Amino acid sequence: MTVSANDLAPAHLLVAEDDRAVRDSLVRALELEGYRVTATSNGAECLDAVSRDGPAALLLDVSMPLVDGLTVCRVVRAEGNRLPILMLTARTETSDRVAGLDVGADDYLAKPYDLDELLARLRALLRRAEYAEEDEVKPLSVGDLRLDSASRRVFRGEREIHLSKTEFDLLELLVENKGIVLDHTTIYERIWNYDFGPDSKNLAVYIGYLRRKTEADGGQRVVQTVRGVGYTVRIPA
């Protein structure tokens, strides 16, 4: 029996999938694993259920009528809801995967997926959410750069820096490991759950975004490149 963080009741999952056969099959499989499941067939119903039921996690199809999955994810995150979201889609291009993660999904699984892999990824998301609730959120900082993980706000001195979901996650990872050089593969797998390979420029693009925003108004560089290895954050002596 899979239970929620308080160990008193089965974790409540929300499934948003417009294909009835896929939806029914997934609901049955999840219920057999001990989860309590609510199913919706379009994005509008999904958003209502998120607000009404407060599920422990959302399994979200990208291509749905009325409101698509990317928009659902964007709306949920805009409301400050950190509900774990596993995005399910038949789209397998890298750009589609990046788009899903950029709007706030926590993980991404392409169809047709292996049920055991889906269940393992779901367990990982639920564990992460439990740890986040149990652990006291500690302020993160390097020099005059401060991150508030609970509110997902970033400040450089008194100036607030507005970051996208992916930008914040990347900066948070680097600051949590300040002084430690993280290689490209580690960062890709921690932020995007996928290593795009040595030829990808995606990480370099986001590092550029962070530098422009954190160095505005003459701020000293904190995101440092270690050539041939990866990136770290530190204030140069």
The pLDDT tens digits for 65-123 are 889 989 999 899 888 888 999 998 876 666 666 777 778 888 888 888 899 999 999 99
pLDDT (0 to 100) of residue 163: 92
43 Cβ contact list (under 8 Å, min separation 6)? 16, 64, 65, 66, 67, 68, 69, 71, 72
In this structure, are strands 159-161 and 153-156 parallel, antiparallel, or unpaired?
antiparallel
Is 0.85 topped by the overall pTM? no
Q: How many CB atoms lie within 10 A of CB 95?
A: 9
Token pair, residue 75, equals 């709306």
Determine the Cα–Cα distance for residues 73 and 102; give it in Å rounded to an integer: 10
